[in-house]
Structure 1
């Protein structure tokens, strides 16, 4: 049997090489057992005292520089005694609720053997009211190795908890943003794993040193069962109802309920059939994992996209949790054992599902944006004339209000121009409606460039167009209307109507002190008829105030 001294660590087990002694009641302060047994398992210690002793062979290098690492469990008191060749003994102790400076990250207690000039010959541990000897894990390591392992384990735990925290925050924000039940369950699960990881690793003792020992162990048991329930709920409820058989879904949820039902008494127990209930819980946990795996596999076969995400997320935790039932992980990861494996598997699952949720959310957001763009395009098309591309009457009326409002706020003159194509019916009768459509589209191309923030244009219907403009008045307004008339008259329609000239008549209504659209339209329509009566290809203008005065007379 090797002992630590050259970077090695020795796991101490009852019977290999630990001998034990039991007192049915808590022994006195300085009590020493009469004899130790080195075979069999200790019994009857849960309400009393359990002594464990390891004798160190003499003549080994490094025996005067050792640390005893004990993975904390449920006990009231732990007294460690280091024995030396000259008969001297050095004692160090911790109590539930007070671990002092002995606690380390990873759920460990470290007891350093004081350096003396004589060899260390043995280590004795006294546990008062320990819940289960089977859950105790002890190692002897070199002091330098203990510092390295403690630092490495603390760093690893911190990294895993940070990843879990990021996943919890992200999923919680996603649940609020998109109101997805799955993200809420996943955030709750990640938060539960953070609490479990902090409690198991004893990092919470930085802030709550009084929770050391049995209380933390009990909380860890409850949190672990709660985490299993949340993980199962997040997986089963995220899968479509039609992709998983009802009986299989009920089986998974039923096994989860059993896990919780076993976890509640286990988290409260300080003594009793602790190991037996723990073994039953392990079997139910494996069955629960199998049931969840079957749900995911069935959903995958039925084409569920969520199942593919869960398959990748659950693969690693399932393998880890299942494998810890079949091999001894006590020597692994600086003594972190299966718990550190579970913590990293949880971080993996959270990150995987966060990425999957991000991709799903991004896909939904793209689809939503495309739908919104399509809706906006449809609404815009509903406001546009299909032939000319100009706003139709509906689109024009929606824009007119903003032009009138800005003009009223700025105290600007506003004007409405009604444009009507001269003798357009004869174009349709002689050359056909297709030719008329080409003519209207050409006229629209002359009018369209004038559309801006202070000017809106439209095809009101048939051969009638409209322009609403703010900021022009009097001579400038008439010159604008006449320039527009000349631009339209200059259009070359030779390919459609030969040498026939296409002209328009324009009626302008000008409002000096602001006006409503109906008043402007009625006045512009009168001006348009006046331009028609004057021989067409003309511009006529009316002032709204002048018209109102005439009506008053």
Structure 2
């Protein structure tokens, strides 16, 4: 198994460990707001008024309504006012936290019992020292000896009063909550970023469309989370306010479309019906088409279009759920992975309809749930993809190994285990190329068993096979980087040696002939001796295989003609033996 396969198999364990760390952080920081944190809503502690934007900064409306809902404020000014009870809060140590930034300007006025009003303001593109990670704006009430009596908020061109989330907390708790929320959001974004990078690398490595869509989805969720939480203001402070909120709307719609694409592209036509696939793609396209104008709107029926978009998103999620279910029933392994990945986000989105998500995670709302659900989804799918691709790589490596073994077997003689003619030629070509560059001599030895046909005729082919195996054991120890050994077929063996001069070459051949002649085959042919004739072709400069083979064959014929059980040598002085071949010289045993 290669290193990349090992990394793929280790990745799920690392991701699981990271998920456990994040879960421990979430449990340690707590799920809900402290008891002293108070949500302010229109109709509950918050009264409202609507005016023209031309009203001076220091002037407040004379009357506020505490019933019904405000109207006509999107192109004007929305005023919200809350009285502060000294029995509930320490009035000299309060912070106001606002979780919406889709407005042109916000002025917060702290009114004290002695009539003094302290104002703080932010505007789109400039949140100054008031912004915090987690999509929050924090306004701290100045310390004064007088009791804080009321807090008034002036929103110019706010997009939706329904989306406003406002809380009053003690200043020390505000610091703890904003820090904790920043840690949670940072952890979720890191997990998403790791998933995006990992899936992108998988897409490049294995050329899988699903991994590419999954990486794009995780990247869009990272961008959405950074914009919603305002972490991007560290880098782009001028994007503070409505621009970031509008970008968030567009990114959320894009993320939904990419998530749907990652599912339908991973499920093939065998497991997913065409009409269900088209329905999912159509709904995701409708989400994008509705999200584009909604992201550009600063006024108008934003709440109504948002509700319609929510219905489309719900329909898209239901269709994806049906797609996963159908593919699972039809035996899709990918559908099982998607079921585990999509179960948590769907449950999270469904559960936010049954409880007040705005009070969870220090007022961060359902967005923090969506962010962690997205992190869960991308990590689950990354782990599943890692396992699948690791298994594929292991299977591929095993296939390559089997192919290599098959190729090696194709180059080996099944009876003796020595290379066959094909393997011998491949090895010889390699040695000849090396010797040609080194300008060294080479020699080919053809070794033929004497009277081998009579052994088969008298003792049988099984006995002949045992004899050939014994001869192979005599030759095999000479195999090295400069010596190739093979059985060419029948009773004929061959060797190619490099770097031996005439005297050493003849001694080597005589050693082989003597070793073959003295080998004990008594178990199959009793006391009958087995001898071999050896023909040698030696080239002073590296020649090609066919020239050496022809010359060695002529030398072997000479050794046979002169009585067998002997060595004959022929010298080649040029690559082509036809013009420069000495007559073979046979040496008696």
TM-score > 0.5, shorter chain as reference: yes
**In structure 2, do the counterparts of structure 1 residues 148 and 528 end up closer, same or farther at CA, with 3 Å as the change threshold?**
same
SS of the residue 2:317 aligns to: helix
SS of the residue 1:27 aligns to: coil
Select which of 196, 200, 208 maps to 1:180.
208
1:270 matched to 2:295: no
Which stretch of the first structure deviates more once superposed, 13-22 or 388-397? 388-397
TM-superposed CA distance for 1:412, in Å, is 1.9
Which stretch of the first structure deviates more once superposed, 464-473 or 539-548? 539-548
Corresponding residue for 2:265? Answer: 237
Select which of 317, 334, 346 maps to 1:306.
334
TM-score, length-normalised on structure 1? 0.96
Corresponding residue for 1:382? Answer: 410
Corresponding residue for 1:451? Answer: 479
CA offsets 1:125-145 (integer angstroms, 9 cap, x no match): 001111110000000000000
Structure 2: how far apart are the matches of 1:200 and 1:8? 26
Corresponding residue for 1:155? Answer: 183
Q: 2:78 touches 2:156 (CA, 8 Å); kept in 1?
A: yes
1:110 matched to 2:110: no
Structure 1: how far apart are the matches of 2:446 and 2:400? 35
Select which of 554, 564, 569 maps to 1:536.
564
Which stretch of the first structure deviates more once superposed, 391-400 or 20-29? 20-29
Structure 2: how far apart are the matches of 1:394 and 1:27? 97
SS of the residue 2:40 aligns to: strand
SS of the residue 2:142 aligns to: coil
1:316 matched to 2:344: yes
Select which of 493, 516, 524 maps to 2:544.
516
CA offsets 1:84-131 (integer angstroms, 9 cap, x no match): 011100000001111111011111100000010111000000011111
1:440 matched to 2:460: no
CA offsets 1:29-58 (integer angstroms, 9 cap, x no match): 333212111111011111111100001123
Q: Map 1:184-195; keep pairs closer than 5 Å.
A: 184-195=212-223
Structure 2: how far apart are the matches of 1:418 and 1:27? 110
Corresponding residue for 1:225? Answer: 253
**In structure 2, do the counterparts of structure 1 residues 462 and 52 end up closer, same or farther at CA, with 3 Å as the change threshold?**
same
CA offsets 1:330-388 (integer angstroms, 9 cap, x no match): 11112222111111111111111111111111111111111111111111111111211
Corresponding residue for 1:12? Answer: 40
Structure 2: how far apart are the matches of 1:198 and 1:59? 38
SS of the residue 1:465 aligns to: strand
SS of the residue 1:284 aligns to: helix
Q: 1:26 touches 1:128 (CA, 8 Å); kept in 2?
A: no
Q: Map 1:258-407; keep pairs closer than 5 Å.
A: 258-407=286-435
Select which of 146, 168, 180 maps to 2:174.
146
Select which of 452, 455, 458 maps to 1:430.
458
Q: Which runs of 5+ in 2 are unaligned?
A: 1-32, 584-589
Corresponding residue for 2:60? Answer: 32
TM-superposed CA distance for 1:544, in Å, is 1.3
Corresponding residue for 2:86? Answer: 58
SS of the residue 2:278 aligns to: helix
1:101 matched to 2:133: no
TM-superposed CA distance for 1:527, in Å, is 1.4
Structure 1: how far apart are the matches of 2:389 and 2:474? 46
Q: 2:571 touches 2:582 (CA, 8 Å); kept in 1?
A: no
Q: 1:11 touches 1:138 (CA, 8 Å); kept in 2?
A: yes
TM-superposed CA distance for 1:59, in Å, is 4.5
Q: 1:259 touches 1:281 (CA, 8 Å); kept in 2?
A: yes
Which stretch of the first structure deviates more once superposed, 112-121 or 283-292? 283-292
SS of the residue 2:563 aligns to: coil
- Give the number of aligned pairs: 548
Q: 1:12 touches 1:137 (CA, 8 Å); kept in 2?
A: yes
Q: Which runs of 5+ in 1 are unaligned?
A: none
TM-superposed CA distance for 1:72, in Å, is 2.1
Corresponding residue for 1:83? Answer: 111
CA offsets 1:227-256 (integer angstroms, 9 cap, x no match): 000001101110121111222222212211
Q: 1:26 touches 1:129 (CA, 8 Å); kept in 2?
A: no
Structure 2: how far apart are the matches of 1:136 and 1:43? 14
